[in-house]
């Protein structure tokens, strides 16, 4: 089975951490008094981009804007499916101005961009998973936004309730591994979800990879998989072993400076699905 995992080339949008910092606290990971090493952050980020390119993926960049320290978390600005781009409306006023430069980037790349009326944070809470989109709510993105996204994208949205503030975005608690025998499979941390949502996930994904709290706290679920290679936080050691057992090829990339802002690999990566 290991040899059968086939990678699919992806197109990613990222934003250089030139102005990255922790200046406010909008999740439990953020402590403005704890310094960020910007040089180290830049080097870690570059290693991620290099790893994507080395594995055949296309990486495009949006110009960072001064005064928007979280703009490096490209995943939060939009979610795209089949060439349709559903924009963002950030919950925190500090992040609201990030939407415009990303919208502008998408428009100049030839996409129409839908401006949502309800609070939502792109791929942070919307995770396209083949025939449907898994969508988080509870901290940032609202149920109303799930409805809006389903209406605009024309793809069924399955709402999941997040309950642990350390896992405030769906992409901190779950990621899509890829196609396994004709259906998408996922990895996730069950305790991040309400009991009902846990049951939904267990029914939809009986063969999911179940991660431990340690893996989740190491940002192991904030991973990007191309169907074969999984770009994953090196601290998620038990998850890495499970992925290798399942025939995936873990590609460890350390983004520890970004963990100080509550983000990891996936947060820094917006996938463009045309
Ligand atoms: N400091 C950012 C925030 O709290 C981190 C965003 C991380 N992004 C993500 N996709 N989980 O909004």
The per-residue pLDDT for range 130-178, each reduced to its tens digit, is 999 999 999 999 999 999 999 999 999 999 999 999 999 999 999 999 9
**Separation of alpha carbons 46 and 36, rounded Å:** 16
Ligand 1 proximity of 169 Cβ (cutoff 6 Å): yes
What is the CA(126)–ligand 1 centre distance, in A?
A: 13
What is the CA(107)–ligand 1 centre distance, in A?
A: 23
Q: Is the CB of residue 265 less than 8 Å from the CB of residue 219? A: yes
Ligand 1 proximity of 98 Cβ (cutoff 6 Å): no
Higher pLDDT, 4 or 210: 210
Closest atom of ligand 1 to CA, residue 30: 1
**Separation of alpha carbons 182 and 115, rounded Å:** 33
Q: Whose CA is closest to atom 9 on ligand 1?
A: 267
Q: How confident is the model at residue 202 (pLDDT cuts 50, 70, 90)?
A: very high
**Separation of alpha carbons 14 and 128, rounded Å:** 18
What is the CA(261)–ligand 1 centre distance, in A?
A: 7
pLDDT recorded at residue 4: 80
Our CA angle for 149, 64, 251, nearest 5°, is: 75
Higher pLDDT, 3 or 142: 142
DSSP class of residue 89?
B
Closest-CA residue to 175 (of 83, 243, 273):
243
Q: Is the CB of residue 48 less than 8 Å from the CB of residue 264? A: no
> Percent of the chain, pLDDT > 90?
97
* Helix ranges, the chain (H): 38-54, 99-108, 143-153, 195-204, 213-217, 237-245, 256-259
Tokens of 109: 């790349």
Q: Is the CB of residue 228 less than 8 Å from the CB of residue 37? A: no
**Separation of alpha carbons 46 and 74, rounded Å:** 14
Handedness of CA 70, 236, 33, 91 (dihedral sign): positive
User: Exactly one of 169, 229, 259, 268 is catalytic; which is it?
Assistant: 169
Q: Whose CA is closest to atom 1 on ligand 1?
A: 261
Residue range 2-271, CATH number: 3.75.10.10
Residue 91's alpha-carbon distances to 44, 123, 153, 180, in angstroms, are: 27, 14, 21, 35
Q: Is 169 a catalytic residue?
A: yes
Q: Whose CA is closest to atom 6 on ligand 1?
A: 263
The per-residue pLDDT for range 29-66, each reduced to its tens digit, is 999 999 999 999 999 999 999 999 999 999 999 999 99
Closest atom of ligand 1 to CA, residue 169: 11
Ligand 1 proximity of 159 Cβ (cutoff 6 Å): no
Q: What is the ipTM of this complex?
A: 0.96
Ligand 1 proximity of 75 Cβ (cutoff 6 Å): yes
For the chain, domain boundaries: 2-271
Using DSSP's 3-state secondary structure scheme, residue 271 falls into strand
**Separation of alpha carbons 127 and 156, rounded Å:** 12
């Amino acid at each position: 089975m290991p040899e059968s995992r086939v990678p699919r080339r992806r197109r990613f949008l990222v934003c250089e951490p030139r102005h990255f910092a922790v200046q406010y606290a909008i999740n439990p990971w953020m402590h403005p008094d704890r310094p960020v090493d910007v040089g180290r952050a830049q080097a870690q980020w570059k290693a991620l981009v290099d790893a994507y390119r080395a594995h055949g993926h296309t990486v495009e960049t949006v110009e960072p804007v001064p005064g928007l320290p979280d703009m490096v978390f490209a995943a939060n600005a939009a979610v795209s499916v089949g060439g349709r781009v559903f924009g963002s409306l950030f919950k925190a006023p500090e992040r609201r101005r990030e939407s415009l430069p990303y919208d502008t980037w998408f428009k100049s790349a030839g996409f129409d961009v839908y401006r949502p009326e309800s609070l939502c944070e792109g791929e942070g809470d919307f995770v396209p998973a083949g025939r449907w989109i898994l969508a988080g709510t509870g901290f940032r993105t609202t149920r109303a936004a799930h409805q809006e996204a389903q209406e605009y994208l024309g793809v069924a949205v399955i709402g999941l309730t997040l309950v642990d503030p350390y896992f405030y975005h769906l992409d901190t608690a779950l990621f899509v591994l890829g196609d396994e025998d004709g259906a998408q499979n996922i990895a996730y941390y069950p305790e991040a979800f309400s009991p009902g949502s846990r049951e939904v996930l267990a029914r939809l994904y009986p063969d999911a990879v179940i991660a431990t709290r340690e893996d989740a706290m190491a940002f192991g679920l904030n991973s990007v998989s191309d169907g074969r290679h999984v770009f994953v936080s090196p601290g998620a050691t038990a998850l890495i072993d499970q992925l290798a057992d399942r025939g995936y090829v873990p590609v460890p990339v350390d983004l520890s400076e970004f963990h100080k802002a509550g983000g990891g690999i996936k947060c820094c990566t917006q996938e463009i699905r045309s």
